[in-house]
Amino acid sequence: MKGCICLLAGMLFAGPIATVSAYEEIQVTDGGTITGTVTMSEGKPIPKGFNLITFPDPVYCGRISTGTGWRILKEFEVSDDGGLKDAVVFLSDIGKGKPFNFEPQTVEARDCRFLPFATVVRNHDEVVVMNMDPVMHDIQAYETSHLGPRVLFNTPLPMNPHHKRNVGADSHEHLAGVPVKETIHMTKGRKFFVMQCGFHAYMESWGLAVENPYYHVTGSDGRFSLTDVPPGDYTLNVWHPGVGTVLEKKITVPPNGTVRADFLFEAPKGRRSAHEIAENPHFGLQALGKPIDIRPTLEVQVP
């Protein structure tokens, strides 16, 4: 499985981003606000599909599946009016501003997903990963850029020993395992990283290392707001893991005022991964030589 994620990490090209060397906390006076919406153009990207019988725990992990033995990685959540979820909006070149109070981020393995799908971390701070499932997971984390991937950490993610031994599609309890704490050490010029389960390749979580408190991860409506920004000229950036590029705009924040900046991502076209749903009799539900009951009891996914 490790070769899969190296390819995945190497595929992300975000390009260089303007940054400042250090961030200074000050008392902001006459601060302004930046608002806007991140949207994605029409056209549904081809989803990444994973045949469950080629990975461990197909019955339990099949609680979220198509009903035909496939698991889809939900990379893009777009509202009816185009709002894009899980886009990270951030100021890359602000040297001073409001206090940067940052709580270590927690990522959960739940129902064979890493949640949240997109998050932010602070370089040299911890990220906490916790297994809520009654099956074993393994964390493989890579930082990535146009320069290629580099391993951040690789560690097993233990499950709670009080989970039932035999689990299936009807299993629903979630008991926290021992939290795994890892420190993020990004090399110069890199801001993005990805975690994938070494056992279940459809489990992904992407992160961006931020250097100041002016960031926002969009919700289901795609909207964002950055408040208490010192008046001045800045570069506003937005990134989404599934698109793999960074958009930017030059903005001017007026004293006690509001500036609006909207972003539009073009929907990715064509084949994006080696993993796609395909009809193949060699990988049907009977390929293991015995009946297997994969039922989407939690969520039926639509390709």
pLDDT tens column, 227-240: 999 999 999 999 99
Instruction: List the one residue out of 45, 110, 115 whose CA is nearest residue 84.
Output: 45
Q: What is the pTM of this model?
A: 0.87
The one-digit pLDDT tens for each residue of the chain (303 residues) are: 444 444 344 444 455 566 666 899 999 999 999 999 999 998 778 889 999 988 999 999 999 999 888 999 999 999 988 999 999 999 999 999 999 988 888 999 999 999 999 999 988 888 999 999 999 999 999 987 666 778 888 999 999 999 988 888 888 889 999 999 988 888 877 889 999 999 999 999 999 999 999 999 999 999 999 999 999 999 999 999 999 789 999 999 999 999 999 999 999 887 777 777 877 655 566 665 667 889 999 999 988
Is 13 strand, coil or helix?
coil
Tell which phi-psi region holds residue 130, choosing left (phi > 0), alpha (psi between -120 and 50) or beta.
beta
Cβ pair 143, 14 in contact under 8 A: no
Long-range contacts of 256-262 (CB under 8 A, 24+ apart): 256/30, 256/31, 256/32, 257/32, 257/33, 258/32, 258/33, 258/34, 258/35, 259/32, 259/33, 259/34, 259/35, 260/34, 260/35, 260/36, 261/34, 261/35, 261/36, 261/236, 262/36, 262/37, 262/38, 262/39
Degrees, nearest 5: CA angle 198-202-206: 85
Residue 193 token pair: 């990283």
132-179 pLDDT per residue, tens: 999 999 999 998 766 677 888 899 999 999 998 888 888 888 999 999
Domain, as residue range, for 31: 2-300
Measured CA to CA, the distance from residue 265 to residue 165 in angstroms comes to 45
Number of domains observed in the structure of the chain: 1
